[in-house]
Amino acid sequence: MSSQDPFAPTDDAERLNVAQGFANSVCRISGELTSALREPHSESFELAETGFTSWATGLGEDASDLVAPGAGEEVRWSAERGWEVSKR
């Protein structure tokens, strides 16, 4: 019995095809992320106004292991400059 992965590419042409597909996916996702950062969804403004800590508190105890309110940096959205670290 072979321990080789049945889904692994079998030759150079197939490896190239997989690599090109991966590169195309990365480019697509990168473009979507860039677009989302340039023009955030309207609900992003609501979250920004509410504040992360207040939002995370509203998730309830079941989600306490998903969010660490003190772990990140506070950021704000500015239409002129985009996302920037808040000055405290």
Q: Whole-number mean pLDDT of the chain?
A: 80
47 and 80 both lie in a single domain = yes
Structural domain harbouring 34: 8-39
Distance between CA 23 and CA 17 in Å, rounded? 10
Q: Are 61 and 81 within one domain?
A: yes
Residues 58 and 86 in one domain: yes
Q: Which of 13-22, 42-51, 76-85 has the lowest mean pLDDT?
A: 42-51
24: in domain: yes
- Report the domain count for the chain: 2
35 lies in the same domain as 69: no
Residue owning tokens 């023009």 = 39
Mean pLDDT along residues 45-73? 73
Query: Is the pLDDT score of 81 beyond 60?
Result: yes
